Chain A
Amino acid sequence: MNIKEMISPAVKKVPPSGIRKYFDLINEMKDAISLGIGEPDFVTPWTIREAGIYSLEKGHTHYSSNAGVIELRQEISRYVKRKYGLDYDPKNQMIVTVGASEGIDIALRALVGPGDEVILPEPSFVAYKGCVVFTGATPVVVNLRAEDQFRLTPRLLEEAITDRTKVLILPFPNNPTGAIMTGEDLEKIVKILKDRDIIVISDEIYAELTYEGQHISIASLPGMYEKTLVVNGFSKAFAMTGWRIGYVCGHPDLIAAMYKIHQYAIMCAPTTAQYAAVEALRNGDEDARVMVREYNRRRRVMVDGFRKMGLDCFEPLGAFYVFPCIRSTGMSSDEFCENLLREEKVLIIPGNAFGECGEGFVRATYANSMENIFEALKRIEKFIEKSKK
């Protein structure tokens, strides 16, 4: 038997990650600075960790209800109301998931299959495309452009819609570009969506990392509540990546469909993490605020640093990434990143890892200490100066 032949065509179709080689390289290096990993450098605030420990002491070590412990769902319900003005019933309009990633996966699996099209703006988080392909549906990529500040414009959206379009993935604030969609930007695309049968999967995991103004959820716009699945989680806002806790909210019928997949494939999200998440929502606001302020300072340092090197760098207003253009160096994104890592020991990620249209750009995260950011910027500048000669 040829084992490889046994693997499903949908899975075979998805190529392995292109950025693995950088991680292998950096593992062998000393004194390297990684601006490559998309996760907070902060450790989870102590009050949240302590709540997790306490739940273990109390013996909360069993499965929770499939949709998640009710206290957590009630807190989520209050939180999305308070933050984004969204009303979801904790009883039948949300599922606590294993990270926002699970939310994206079960949303897609509940909605699409072979013959369906999913509109996917790129550059974006690498998992979307894979998850779409695994369902047998076809990803239809929308290439976002630097001149639009990597926002989804109504024109780009309209060009991508066909009779087969069933889902739009809306990934804002965006990884890797740091782009956001303002209320005005959203209204423009709502005009196109409102008379069409398209469900929006709105990945709002970076919502709390919005630096000017408040994040606006597309679900809060007129006519969009019923057709939107809001995916969010605790990883970014509360520095809880390793706890694997997310949630998805939406129309009861959509949630019921996703619930089936969730209960058979996952059962429930980890119970300890759920109790920690309750504490995050009850008492974590101040900790989250302090982190956001620190990210904001680093963001300014990073944008300023890249611009001073002579690179075009639009101002990202969300997430914790900057996405400067490196075309002026004459290098491809891959060359730039590989040479930078070898010569100056700084890891950043080539933009094309997040979609072909990311070529010519690189992603650097400022989820690292200010000290490391200053040092990394110094090294990148040295690298660019050298490459000019």
Chain B
Amino acid sequence: MEEILEILEKNNKLTEEQIATMLNKSVEEVRAAIKKLEEDNIILGYTTLINWEKTRKETVTALIEVRVTPQRGEGFDKVAERIYKYPEVKACYLMSGGFDLTVIIEGKTMKEVALFVAEKLAPLESVLSTATHFVLKKYKDEGLIFEEKEKDDREAVVL
């Protein structure tokens, strides 16, 4: 099970047949295992990591530090939910340390992101403060490096 996840995490384009061969298992076993992982919400989905910089689409990403007052009986979860349900929010984490939530927002322009923070995020009752940091350049995301891939430059050698 775990090895299927390791493989899919790196490359979800592999077919069930290919994964079965890689793990020396039957296709049925692999198919059933993946189905179970999906049903149990262990596999949440299959996404593609895109370097939007190389396309014409304009995007900006911001990381927002949010301080909130936790609510009685519900802790941070309810507040977090009110925030992460916005489709603009790409990621939302509860943090230890000087602030409570990291909220990652993606928008078309800086203005759009700033307005989202000013109009949607900051006014929430339990939000005490926000600090917005814009991403200037992405070097690496999801374990993948954005610059050109290293080429196979192994030279022919007799061995």
Contact = CB atoms under 8 A, between A and B. Distances in A.
Interface of A: 17, 19-20, 23, 26-27, 34, 36-39, 41, 43, 125-127, 175, 293, 297-298, 300-301, 304, 368, 370, 374
A36 B18 contact: no
Nearest to A347: B156
Interface in B102-159: 150, 152, 154, 156-159
A17 B152 contact: no
Contacts of B14: 370
Nearest to B153: A43
Contacts of B24: 300
10 contacts: A36-B156, A37-B157, A39-B157, A41-B152, A41-B154, A125-B159, A297-B22, A300-B23, A301-B21, A368-B152
B94 interface: no
B158 A126 contact: yes
A300 B158 contact: no
A36 B158 CA distance: 9
A34 B157 CA distance: 12
B7 interface: yes
B29 to A, nearest CB: 14
Given A370-B11, A370-B14, A370-B22, 12 more contacts: A20-B158, A26-B156, A36-B156, A37-B159, A39-B154, A39-B157, A126-B158, A175-B159, A300-B22, A301-B18, A301-B22, A304-B21
B154 A27 contact: no
A366 to B, nearest CB: 11
Nearest to B159: A38
Contacts of A368: 152
Contacts of A39: 154, 157, 159
Interface string B19-30: 001111000000
Contact of A300 (B7, B21, B154, B156): B21
A20 B7 CA distance: 36
Contacts of B18: 301, 374
B21 A37 contact: no
B159 to A, nearest CB: 5
B7 to A, nearest CB: 7
Q: A-B pairs with the 3 shortest C-beta distances?
A: A23-B156, A297-B22, A17-B158
A127 B158 CA distance: 9
